[in-house]
Amino acid sequence: MFSKKLFIALFVLLMFTGSVTAKTHNTNKTDLRELFQNNNAVIYALNIRTFNANDINGNDIIDFYDGETSGTFINAIERLDELKDLGINTVHLLPVTPVGKIKALGTAGSLYAISDFHSINLQLVDEKSDLSPREQAKKFIDECHKRNIRVIVDLPSCGSYDLFINNPDLFVLDEDGNTFVPADWLDVRLFNVAANEKEIVHSDIFILHKLFVDYMISLGADGIRADVATIKPYDFWRALIRYARSKKSGFLFLAEASECWTKPASEKAYFTDYKKLLDAGFDGYYGDYFNFKNWHTMEDLTSSVKDRQKVLKKYNEKKSVIGSFATHDEVSPLLIGGEIFSKMIIWLNATLPLNPYYVDGFLQADDYMYDYSNKLAHETYTDDEYYYVHQGQIDIFNFSRRPGSDSSILSDEHKTAMKFRHAHNDIITKGKFIPLETNNEKIFAYQRELNGSSVVVIFNRNLINSENVKVNIQKIRKKSQITFVRTANSGTLMKSKYTAVLKPGEIVVFSVK
């Protein structure tokens, strides 16, 4: 069980946060849950530690001894207008809680190696500010809200080795007292979420998660993204979600879960599938759109969308998914298929029945290839002497550069796509998904239709060769008004048939009234 000092500290904090939330229960609301359920959340995932970092010498790492600065809650505010200009209305903050320094990965430590559930990671704090760490985090969230941007905060799934040393009773141990490393996550250890085989929830761990909820709500957060939600039991999530919504109505819970994940992350880990997580009260999950990189026929996309819609319709409350084409765990689309593939992802996000989702750097054309990758570090703030990083993925292990590049091609494409989405919002968020008949399995074509008006999307999934296209469009009449937002030079639309020779990755989008 907890040490006496830790128990007293938790008791005092629970009393404090309970009194605060009780006073604000009637007015503490958010519209994020409704926004998400109706596919109207446009989500931008960011790492505060790198979001507005200043890498002066251009070596991709932040050298504090040279006067360079990492990202903080305070300097992150400078970029919020940029996000608003991109049409972002929700940010997903990668973990902002303190990280472990023992048996760590990277010179700053992984964001997901949580060492404390009820305080702010001091790495994200501006030391020159007169505001406390908590006040700085709250100020950032307040500034988001001023711009009509909601905030989701990440809840890590496993504990750091530092936390294990101080509280071993919170963790799964073998007969020799050794901890379990989930999957290949070498810097974290598996929580003993349920105290026995009957899956009675471990009360001390549940208290820690309640403290996290209380703390995030006190900061003004609008929701939680549960990291690897599958490794905690149904009863755990059901109780925690109910608790959170008793404190703040409309509070969102997003599960990192997928139809593709059917086994526990490791020995001794629980496994709760995505359907049970939705039953427990989660508003949505990741789905399987991250597999798009492996899909080469329209049937792959069609089955994914239809299967998901079939599942989500079973619930009395609305549920949805995110456009998980490129999460922080995925390789940059630029490395997979370049700009043309990245533009596909933008238009899929803009027109499919989902909540668009981007990771910081994607819209700024970052391939996340870091010069310092896995080299011996000049300085470290953990026991790892190397710049550990997953090449091709946004860095969550070091004090590294601000994600992005000098190119505005993808951000400009996104603005065009979001303007189109906004103009046809009812069709895209409420309309039917209709796969279109084509003469070529490499051509992806679908129609979103509502009350006689439609959005049509056609693209060549072949990233190497041009393809001949013949697509049968539904419900086009003589008096229909056709407006192209993206067209091909060779394309023609006669009656209800679209024909063209599409270049590799070429995209066609138009509306029909």
In DSSP terms, 249 is beta-bridged to 29
DSSP 3-state of 472 = strand
pLDDT of residue 128: 96
C-alpha of 53 from chain center: 20
Distances (CA, A) of 400 to 50, 330, 331, 360: 6, 18, 17, 13
| Kind of pairing between the strands at 492-494 and 432-435 | unpaired
Q: Which two tokens stand for residue 423?
A: 């103009």
Contact criterion met (CB below 8 Å) for 272 and 278 = no
Q: Which two tokens stand for residue 297?
A: 């026929």
Side chain identity at 301, as an amino acid letter? Answer: L
pLDDT at 319 over 60: yes
More confident residue, 199 or 496: 496
Contact criterion met (CB below 8 Å) for 85 and 70 = no
C-alpha of 130 from chain center: 31
Q: How far apart are CA 272 and CA 232, in angstroms?
A: 7
Q: Domain 4-320+345-355+369-403 carries which CATH code?
A: 3.20.20.80
pLDDT of residue 409: 97
pLDDT in tens, 320-379: 999 999 999 999 999 999 999 999 999 999 999 999 999 999 999 999 999 999 999 999
| Main-chain phi, psi angles of 40, to 5 degrees | -110, 5
Q: What is the CB-side half-sphere exposure of residue 311 using CA atoms within 13 A? A: 22
Q: Which two tokens stand for residue 1?
A: 């069980």
Q: What is the 3-class SS of 116-162, one letter each residue?
A: CCCCCCHHHCCCCCCCCHHHHHHHHHHHHHHCCCEEEEEECCCEEHH
| Kind of pairing between the strands at 223-226 and 150-155 | parallel
Q: Domain 431-512 carries which CATH code?
A: 2.60.40.1180
pLDDT of residue 180: 85
The percentage of residues in the chain with a pLDDT greater than 70, rounded to a whole number, is 94
Q: Which residue has the tokens 């689309």?
A: 333
Question: Which class for 183: exposed (0-12), middle (13-18), buried (19 or more C-beta within 10 A)?
Answer: middle
Beta carbons within 10 angstroms of residue 19's beta carbon: 9
Question: What's the sign of the alpha-carbon dihedral 396, 2, 208, 237?
Answer: positive
Residue 90 DSSP symbol: E
pLDDT in tens, 473-495: 987 887 889 999 999 988 899 88
Mean pLDDT, rounded, for 20-49:
80
Q: What is the 3-class SS of 361-389, one letter each residue?
A: CCCCCCCCCCCCCCCECCCCCCCCCECCC
Q: Which two tokens stand for residue 6?
A: 């830790």
pLDDT at 14 over 60: no
Q: Which two tokens stand for residue 384?
A: 């790892």
Distances (CA, A) of 218 to 15, 114, 143, 215, 362: 13, 19, 15, 5, 31
pLDDT in tens, 398-429: 999 999 999 999 999 999 999 999 999 999 99
Q: How far apart are CA 202 and CA 193, in angstroms?
A: 5
Q: Give the lowest-confidence range in 75-89, 186-200, 274-288.
A: 186-200
Helix axes 234-247, 203-219, angle to 10 degrees: 30
Distances (CA, A) of 375 to 180, 187, 328, 512: 28, 18, 21, 54
pLDDT of residue 19: 37
pLDDT at 21 over 50: no
Contact criterion met (CB below 8 Å) for 438 and 469 = yes
Nearest to 473 by CA among 492, 446, 491, 503: 446
pLDDT at 239 over 70: yes
pLDDT in tens, 354-371: 999 999 999 999 999 999
Q: Give the lowest-confidence range in 179-183, 212-216, 313-317, 440-444.
A: 179-183
C-alpha of 227 from chain center: 10
pTM for the model stands at 0.93
pLDDT of residue 490: 86
More confident residue, 511 or 23: 511
Mean pLDDT, rounded, for 123-144:
98
Q: How far apart are CA 469 and CA 298, in angstroms?
A: 13
pLDDT at 13 over 70: no
Domain residue limits, the chain: 4-320+345-355+369-403, 431-512
Contact criterion met (CB below 8 Å) for 419 and 399 = no
Contact criterion met (CB below 8 Å) for 400 and 419 = no
pLDDT at 99 over 60: yes
Side chain identity at 173, as an amino acid letter? Answer: L
Mean pLDDT, rounded, for 231-251:
96
Question: What's the sign of the alpha-carbon dihedral 180, 288, 299, 342?
Answer: negative
